[in-house]
Amino acid sequence: MSDSPQIAPLLFAWYGRVGRDLPWRHTRAPYRIWLSEIMLQQTTVTAVIPYYQCFLARFPDIGVLAAAAAEEVVEAWAGLGYYSRARNLHAAARQVMELHNGCFPETLEELITLPGIGRSTAGAILAIAHQERGVILDGNVRRVLVRLFALEGDPRSSAAEKQLWLWAESLTPAERADDYAQAIMDLGATCCTPTKPNCPECPLAVHCQAFTQGRQDELPQARAAKAVPTVQQVGLLLADKRGRLLVRRRPMNGLLGGLWEFPTREVLPGATPEASARLLLQELGGSGSVEEAGKVAHAYSHFKLDLRFYRGKAGTAGYVGEGEHDWLTAAALRELALHGAHKKALKFI
C-alpha cells in the first residue's frame, strides 16, 4: 500500500507550483462552489468556464436562482448537456431557501439531502467552501487512486466503489482538505489523464503501483461495452405563411426537459421515414406533402439518434397539438434553447 502520510504533502507542493487558475478558485461562497461542482460533473473545465460565468451573471445568488422559473434555468443551461443537473440545481436552490433560510448546509448529512448532490459533491463543498474535512471521489480522483493502488477489475463495481472510498478517506488530511481536494482533482485532469498519463511529471510517481509495474496505460481497466440501441425519428420543419417555423418545448420531466425542439415522432414500425413524417404533418394540422431536408446523427449516453428532417406547410388552423409552442424566424431560432440534435437542423433552414 502507498505511504499515505506522504501523499498529501507531495500534492500540496505540486499544486502550489502548477495548480490551475480557475474562476471558482477565487471564492469561498458555497453557492459558487456548488454551481461549479455540478457543472463539472461529466463536463470539461474548458466547456464549463463560459457557462459558469454566464450563469452567475443571470443568477448571481441562490435566492435569485430559487425565484426563477425552472424553464429559465434550463434555458441558461442549454448546450451544457445532462439537463437533469439544471433541474436538480433549481430544486436544490428552492429547498435551501425553504428549509435552510437561504443558508447552504454545512454538514455532509444535510448536503446529501439536496437534489443532485451526492457524497463526492458534498465532500467538495465541505472542503472548498466550508474548509471542513470533506472527502471526494470524482472521475479524476477515481483514476488517480486506481493507478496509485493498481486496482484490478471494473472500477465502477460495488466492490471497487467501496475500496476506492476507503482509500479516499485514508488519504484525505485533516488540515487543508480544500487544497488537497483541488490538488488531486487537478492531478487527474492534467497529469494522470485517461490516456498517455504524464508520469515523469507526477508528484506521486514514486508511490504509484501502476507506474512501478509499468501498467499505467492499462489501468483503469475498461468496462465491458454495452450495446447501444439506435432510435429512428423524423422531425418536421413546419412553416407558416410568413415563413416562421414551429417549435415545441419538451416537458420539464424527462430527457432534455424544458428545452425546445422541432416537432418529432419515432418512425413507425414497418413504415418509411417519409410516411411517418406525413403522419406527423397531419397530426399537426398541416397540409400537402413533405420534402426531405436532411439527416442528423446524434449520440446520447444510452442511445444513438437517427433523425431525418422534412419540410412541410402549416394548415389554416395553425398549430394543432398540446403543450407550449411558438412560431419563430430563422434568426430567432438561432437564439433559442434548442437541444443539441435539433440545433444541427438549423443548417437545413
Residue 56 grid cell: 452567475
Planar angle of CA 325, 51, 74, nearest 5 degrees:
30
Asked if residue 3 has pLDDT above 70, the reply is: no
**What's the Cα-to-Cα distance from 94 to each of 67, 68, 91, 117, 194, rounded to whole Å?**
8, 10, 5, 14, 37
Per-residue model confidence as pLDDT tens digits over 192-249: 999 999 999 999 999 999 999 999 999 999 887 788 899 999 999 999 999 999 999 9
Residue 255: per-residue pLDDT: 86
Question: Is residue 3 within 8 Å of 209, Cβ to Cβ?
Answer: no
Residue 139 grid cell: 472521475
Instruction: Please name the residues in contact with 264: beta carbons below 8 A apart, sequence gap of 6 or more.
Output: 233, 234, 235, 236, 280, 307
Phi, psi of 235 (to 5 degrees): -120, 150
Kindly state the average pLDDT of the residues 107-116. 97
Per-residue model confidence as pLDDT tens digits over 255-267: 899 999 999 999 9
* Range name among 171-175, 288-292, 305-309, 316-320 with the lowest pLDDT average: 316-320
- From CA 211, how far away is CA 247, in angstroms rounded? 53
- From CA 183, how far away is CA 180, in angstroms rounded? 5
- From CA 286, how far away is CA 123, in angstroms rounded? 54
Give the containing element (helix H, strand E) for 144: helix 139-148
Residues identified as active-site = 37
The residues pairing with 249 across neighbouring beta strands, listed in sequence order, are 260
Domains defined along the chain, listed by start: 29-130 (1.10.340.30), 135-223 (1.10.1670.10), 231-348 (3.90.79.10)
Per-residue model confidence as pLDDT tens digits over 133-177: 999 999 999 999 999 999 999 999 999 999 999 999 999 999 999
Residue 222: per-residue pLDDT: 85
Plot region of 261 (φ>0 → left; ψ -120 to 50 → alpha; else → beta): beta
Burial degree of 139 (CB within 10 A; 0-12, 13-18, 19+) = middle
Residue 287: per-residue pLDDT: 80
How many of the other CB atoms lie within 10 Å of CB of 280? 22
Exposure string of 30-62, with b = 16+ CB inside 10 Å and e = fewer, is bbbbbbbbbbbeeeebeebeebbeebbeebeeb
Asked if residue 316 has pLDDT above 80, the reply is: no
Exposure string of 115-128, with b = 16+ CB inside 10 Å and e = fewer, is ebbebbbbbbbbbb
Q: What is the mean pLDDT of the chain?
A: 94
Percent over 90 (pLDDT), the chain: 88
Planar angle of CA 128, 41, 92, nearest 5 degrees:
70
Per-residue model confidence as pLDDT tens digits over 233-286: 999 999 999 999 999 999 988 889 999 999 999 998 999 999 999 999 999 988
Kindly state the average pLDDT of the residues 4-33. 95
